[in-house]
Amino acid sequence: MAALLVASGSGAALAQASADTVRLSPVVVTASRIPTPRDAEPASVTVLDGRELETLGVRSLAEALRDVAGVDLARNGSFGGATSLFVRGGESDYVKVLIDGVPLNDPGGAIDLADLGIDAVERIEIVRGPASVLYGSDAVTGVVQVFTRRGEGPARVDLGLRAGSYASVDATGGVRGRTGPFGYAMTVSHARTDGIYDLNNVFTNSIWTGRVSARPDSRTDVTLGARYGGSRYHFPTESSGQANDMNAFQDRDRLTAALEIGHRFTPTLEGRVSVAWSRSADGIDDRPDGAADTLGFYAFANDRTVRRRSTDLRLTAVPTPWTTVTAGASVEWQDERSASESWSEFGASSSAFDANRVSGGVYAQVQMMPVRGIALVLGSRIDRSDVFGTFLSYRGGVSYRLAGGTRARATLGRAFKEPTFFEQFADDPFARGNPALRPERSLSWEVGLEQEALGGAVLVGATYFDQRFLDLVQYVFAPDPAEPSYVNVAAATARGLELEAELDLPGAGTLRGSYTYLLTQVTDAGVESGSGGAFVDGARLLRRPTHSARLTMIERLSPRATFSGTLRFVGDRDDRDFASFPAETVTMGAYATIDLSAEAEVWRSTGSERRLAVTGAVRDLFDRHPAEVFGFLSPGRTVMVGVRAGW
């Protein structure tokens, strides 16, 4: 791929970036699926450096994303509680999340970030805006991709251990390196905490990640990766947040594996084929097994297994020095098996379904740099599903680099999200699936302006975005059991402004900040009109604040010591009181928190990478306990101290 980068317009852009600025623009992959300098990519892209995340004491994907412009998260209570991700005001199932190219979302886009740890991360790329052309379903408002560290150089071992508030302990260990044409990397981690409640709130999470690579010859590369994650979250709360359950818990296991083979046929033509497999199993157990348990009138148990298998074939060609063409085809097989039981004062009930579906797509994208400083992107995709039929996605964008370090850019795109299995195939007393559901779809555009100054030491940017969400799936009560419970009727908009700035401080420090103004509105409530409905005409979308801001300072006190602080502000947002019927709208107040972290090397071997460091982190310094979901407490001041060693 590096040879193609040099031969293409992307290579020309990289050379230009080198000539125009002191600091090279980072090369990003996720937005176009080929290496492209960020300042030649029309889409909004943020890159988080893995080493910097370590310095900040960040150990989870959710924590890493909290300081990205346009991103909001909502966690149900304590560590391990369901954590939803919203990008630019879209629904929580509108973001594709990948680790080393393998999607982690359930079919239909749902993703819970509660147990997604990010040890041994090289970088995280966040693309904001529609990306279905390259990623198919679920990439409606963005894509988040985690790149783990590769095996390069001499063998290296890394170990880490932390402990702190709420009886929390986490440990990680990894080894990586390269021997001849073979590279290897493996990481294991385990975390445990008692949680914020005195009653039944333990959360445990174990992760194993492995990756091996080989270069049989100078034109071929092979990579095989696998990841396993297993967690258990004990939740003592009912929907009001009141702690009253001695034994309710949720288990989740995720296993993914992927094989990718790339071959450069000529200096200007490369082919890549990837095969991915994933299996996730989760279950909720809230059975009434004793007089002291489940003091209310309702009990529930559920087991669900989801499997995804996919193949993607992609060709990248450079027909001219300023044109790169990417074309590919993909096919995916999905199946889900679910069984539930519930008990209440009205009696017992059960439901189950076992369904599968197949979808495929063909796509093409052209990147051009016809003249110096101008980069164009045009792409389109056609998806065909055996359930929802055919859908056309497209994307277009332009990046124009002017003199004086100014860059203007604009994009337009159409994206989609397929229905969930439950929405299509549910069969229980309260919900019946609708196999005729159409995909939810969006039409989005954005314009942005960036300005560099002082040789790249200062970078500021502003982006205005406008998104329309159509055919949103809505639950409707159907008195006739033969009628479906889900229909495509609702619509909403999300528009706003993102302001970002980064400043290199004297010495080796960095000051980074962002502000997001977000205006969401339900434009069509569908069949619901009351205040307790999922959509209310003219209302804001739930759990998405109008105003949010972040400010982070990283100060390298010496070559061996780093200190950082983050001020985070989240404005008021709407939620629902689901303990009432109908669920009334409530407004949750704004809050601000401060986080601190520090790292200091206490020993380093001269002339080698062997080191020992002590670390410390404080979250929510002033113990504000900011509630992110109505009725659920959040952790307050959390202190973690530890050591990290490498050799």
pLDDT exceeds cutoff 70 at 177? yes
Mean per-residue pLDDT, 191-204: 94
pLDDT exceeds cutoff 50 at 15? no
Side chain identity at 550, as an amino acid letter? R
pLDDT at res. 20: 40
Residue 287, token pair as written in the block: 């059975």
Whether 97 contacts 474, CB under 8 Å:
no
Domains of the chain in start order, with CATH, are: 2-646 (2.40.170.20)
Please tell me the distance from the alpha carbon of residue 111 to that of residue 116, in angstroms, as a whole number: 10
pLDDT exceeds cutoff 90 at 9? no
Mean per-residue pLDDT, 599-610: 87
Between 32-41, 192-201, 248-257, 527-536, the lowest mean confidence (pLDDT) is in: 527-536
Listed residue (240, 338, 345) closest to 299, CA to CA: 345
pLDDT at res. 7: 46
Q: Which residues are CB-contacts of 109 (< 8 A; sequence separation ≥ 6)?
A: 91, 93, 94, 95, 96, 137, 138, 140, 417, 418, 420
Q: What percentage of the chain reaches a pLDDT higher than 90?
A: 80
pLDDT at res. 607: 72
Q: How confident is the model at residue 142 (pLDDT cuts 50, 70, 90)?
A: very high
Mean per-residue pLDDT, 170-184: 97
Please tell me the distance from the alpha carbon of residue 31 to that of residue 29, in angstroms, as a whole number: 6
pLDDT exceeds cutoff 60 at 624? yes
When comparing pLDDT for 609 and 71, which is higher?
A: 71
Q: How confident is the model at residue 14 (pLDDT cuts 50, 70, 90)?
A: very low
Q: How confident is the model at residue 346 (pLDDT cuts 50, 70, 90)?
A: confident
pLDDT at res. 530: 62
Mean per-residue pLDDT, 628-640: 94
Between 265-269, 430-434, 520-524, the lowest mean confidence (pLDDT) is in: 430-434
pLDDT exceeds cutoff 50 at 179? yes
When comparing pLDDT for 34 and 120, which is higher?
A: 34
pLDDT at res. 498: 99
Residue 183, token pair as written in the block: 């590279």
Q: CA 608, 614, 617 angle in degrees (round to 5)?
A: 135
Please tell me the distance from the alpha carbon of residue 281 to that of residue 432, in angstroms, as a whole number: 23
Mean per-residue pLDDT, 419-441: 93
pLDDT at res. 288: 67
pLDDT at res. 291: 55
Q: How confident is the model at residue 239 (pLDDT cuts 50, 70, 90)?
A: low
Between 167-176, 346-355, 446-455, 566-575, the lowest mean confidence (pLDDT) is in: 346-355
Q: What is the pTM of this model?
A: 0.94
Q: Which residues are CB-contacts of 315 (< 8 A; sequence separation ≥ 6)?
A: 269, 270, 271, 272, 326, 327, 328
Cis peptide upstream of residue 582 (ω within 30 degrees of 0): yes
Q: How confident is the model at residue 608 (pLDDT cuts 50, 70, 90)?
A: confident
Mean per-residue pLDDT, 576-580: 84
Mean per-residue pLDDT, 544-565: 96
DSSP code per residue over 88-129: TT--TTSEEEEETTEE-SPTTS---GGG-B-TTEEEEEEEES
Q: What is the dihedral sign for C-alpha 349, 76, 303, 284?
A: negative
Whether 88 contacts 126, CB under 8 Å:
no
Please tell me the distance from the alpha carbon of residue 461 to that of residue 452, in angstroms, as a whole number: 9
Report which listed range, 38-42, 242-246, 408-412, is most confident: 408-412
Residue 478, token pair as written in the block: 């159907």
